Structure 1
């Protein structure tokens, strides 16, 4: 649904994972080997990947300011607690975090979140406000106030619904 470039750095992994399911149709790309391949997971890993995906979606919805009641991004805390990171130092003394278990999806996600938090980009990874979409997107707007994955699709539909509701209430 997103008509823009993917998120920068490790956030692209998170954006791609959240966008493995089409909320409106229920089609889940994790159901296929081709859909699992970019994440390096097997069919046995799918339940954990789905749980991680939905916890990430909740965080993205929270970033956008429209987390539905009953959903909380705190489930991500529990999942990432099982994904330890290591501090590594380069020859010039610069510190970076890397996954302790780089083969696990949760560890790669944890490293991506840590790096994005450090550089201030993590809050810009959001999920579309449209209930039938909730596609993850990276908000590149100057004020970081985008609400929809695509203004030409989800944004236009929302504005048309509002327009019609206002017209029917007025007349």
Structure 2
């Protein structure tokens, strides 16, 4: 599932997006955002819950659509097909999060365009995506190629070809399954009866 990563090489914005996607761990069906209170707690623990913001069940549904849509994008970064339904839900969720551009001497930021709690809370994730795109780390965010894992990770490799969250865990598992399938196919083809050509 996870491999220890030198967090000093992971930019803060990329780490935030990765951590948000990893609030659900498909391999063990662990869900960190199963209630509006857990959603508030997750953002609050990172100093990202604006004072006085209260989130409800529709906000939780929007957060899950945002998270799973991001997971599908990161799956695409890893070279896999993305689920069109999750991407459509992401697009619909983003359409309900109006943002405005703040231009300062230090650069650009995306800020909430209104005081709706959902918009104010999710603005940090949306701005983190903008920051990742700006600093060219967006495509380094990927999800594990192992079908049962799908854990998000930051690909710090020089050529950006990492496929698994952990080579020791998921990478070895996938390679061993492929090797077993190859051996099995060879064994089956060598024991198959050979037909004699007609004389």
TM-score by length of 2: 0.74
* Other-structure match for 2:196: none
Q: 1:103 aligned to 2:117?
A: no
Give 1:31 shift.
2.0
Q: 1:164 aligned to 2:180?
A: yes
CA-atom RMSD, angstroms?
A: 2.4
Q: Find the partner of 1:57 among 43, 50, 71.
A: 71
Return the alpha-carbon distance in structure 2 between the equivalents of residues 151 and 21 of structure 1: 21
- Unaligned runs of 5+ residues in structure 2 are 44-48, 188-199
Contact 2:145 2:164 in 1 (8 A): yes
* Other-structure match for 1:112: 128
* Other-structure match for 1:130: 146
Return the alpha-carbon distance in structure 2 between the equivalents of residues 156 and 71 of structure 1: 31
* Other-structure match for 1:79: 93
Q: 1:26 aligned to 2:42?
A: no
How many residues matched?
168
Contact 1:62 1:73 in 2 (8 A): no
* CA distances 1:13-56 after superposition (whole Å, capped 9, x unpaired): 21112111121232211126557512247452322111111101
Give 1:10 shift.
1.6
Return the alpha-carbon distance in structure 2 between the equivalents of residues 5 and 42 of structure 1: 33
* CA distances 1:110-129 after superposition (whole Å, capped 9, x unpaired): 11111111111111100111
* Other-structure match for 1:37: 41
- Unaligned runs of 5+ residues in structure 1 are none
When structure 1 is superposed on structure 2, of 6-15 and 138-147 the one drifting more is 6-15
Change (3 A) 1:97 1:68: closer
TM-score by length of 1: 0.84
Say which SS state the counterpart of residue 66 (structure 1) adopts: coil
